[in-house]
A and B are shown apart, each in its own frame.
Chain A
Amino acid sequence: MRCGVVVFPGSNCDHDVYHVLKHVLDQEVRFLWHDEPRLHGSELVVLPGGWSYGDYLRGGALAALSPVMGAVREHAERGGLVLGICNGFQVLTEAKLLPGALRPNRGQRFECRDVYLRVERADTPFTREYAAGQVLRMPIAHGEGNYEHFPYELDRLERDRLVALRYVAPDGALADEWNVNGSARAIAGLANAGGNVFGLMPHPERCAEEVLGNSDGLALFAGAVRGAAQLAGAGR
């Protein structure tokens, strides 16, 4: 099973993702340079956090048009697994591989802290190792994570069950004061209709080992690796 971690100029969580896939989950991983329209056989592609292209214009806007994204789009359209974390989630929305957009946080501040997330869907490759309704703790670090879309589109997301993770209180209840950035419908993570493209603002790679004091994020990568291996085995 081959994994690829895309590196844009300004990516800064690429090595963390590489570490989790390579050293914690023992997978074959390579970095994929933004300027090359090739995935080198990667079956799981991760767009990491950071400030791609300095986040000029809008977070993820310029990265969404980079050569590697053409290959990522083809991979996604073939049903291949794509995970976008933080800036990677912004890139996926700007590339229209996921619906909506991420705006500056409601509180006007960069938020860097642990948040609580409720798993709304446990039937995507990325959330299959969790239980629906399970509450996770994960760190966030972003200034623009406020999920927005047109109201009728938000209704459609709910109807199509695309919302995979929501910001909640530690007991799992929805509560505005725990919606850290003001996201519409407290959306923290989304899947596409096929479940093969997944984006989230929190950083699972920063909580994927006991030594870090929190391993709630590991199952997300473990699920993705298993899902990608199954797809590869099925000769997708």
Chain B
Amino acid sequence: MKARVTVYPRKEILDPQGKAIQSALARVGFRSVREVRAGKSFELDLGVDDAQQAGDLLAAMCEKLLANTVVEDYEIELLAADAS
């Protein structure tokens, strides 16, 4: 089973990278943009077939390594087999 994990800085936390990207967008003409949050995305081939088990594994991975929950939030998405 494949999955995607997205990690973003928590909303309350300043995101200097997002701010820099936003001002660069404004510089090239995209002035209407109100906010950019820059995060990371991971695609994983989990090696298990059960959705429940996959969700548990992903949550554990996020808590242990993929996200630092002091400053980041994460989202987990299981990908349909035919999307791969």
Contact = CB atoms under 8 A, between A and B. Distances in A.
Interface of A: 57-58, 61, 65, 93-94, 99-101, 103-108, 146, 148-150, 182
A103 B14 contact: yes
B68 interface: yes
A139 to B, nearest CB: 22
Given A101-B71, A108-B19, A108-B20, A148 B65 contact: no
A81 B58 CA distance: 35
A61 B65 contact: yes
B17 interface: yes
B44 to A, nearest CB: 14
Interface in B18-49: 19-20, 40
Given A106-B14, A148-B13, A182-B14, A100 B20 contact: no
B70 A146 contact: no
A103 B71 contact: yes
A101 B14 contact: no
Nearest to A150: B70
Q: Is the interface of A mostly helix, strand, loop or mixed?
A: loop
Nearest to B38: A104
Nearest to A104: B16
A106 B16 contact: yes
Contacts, number: 37
A146 B15 CA distance: 11
Contacts of B70: 93, 99-101, 148-150
A168 to B, nearest CB: 21
A196 B66 CA distance: 28
Interface string B1-23: 00000000100011011011000
A182 B14 CA distance: 10
B74 to A, nearest CB: 13
A95 to B, nearest CB: 11
A149 B17 CA distance: 18
Nearest to A64: B65
Contacts of A108: 16-17, 19-20
Contacts of A103: 9, 13-14, 16, 71
Interface-centre pick from B9, B16, B66 (highest chain A CB count, 10 A): B16
B71 A105 contact: no
A94 B17 CA distance: 20
A8 B53 CA distance: 34
Given A101-B70, A148-B71, A150-B70, A107 B16 contact: yes
A146 B68 contact: no
A93 B20 CA distance: 26
Contacts of B20: 108
Interface-centre pick from B9, B13, B68 (highest chain A CB count, 10 A): B68
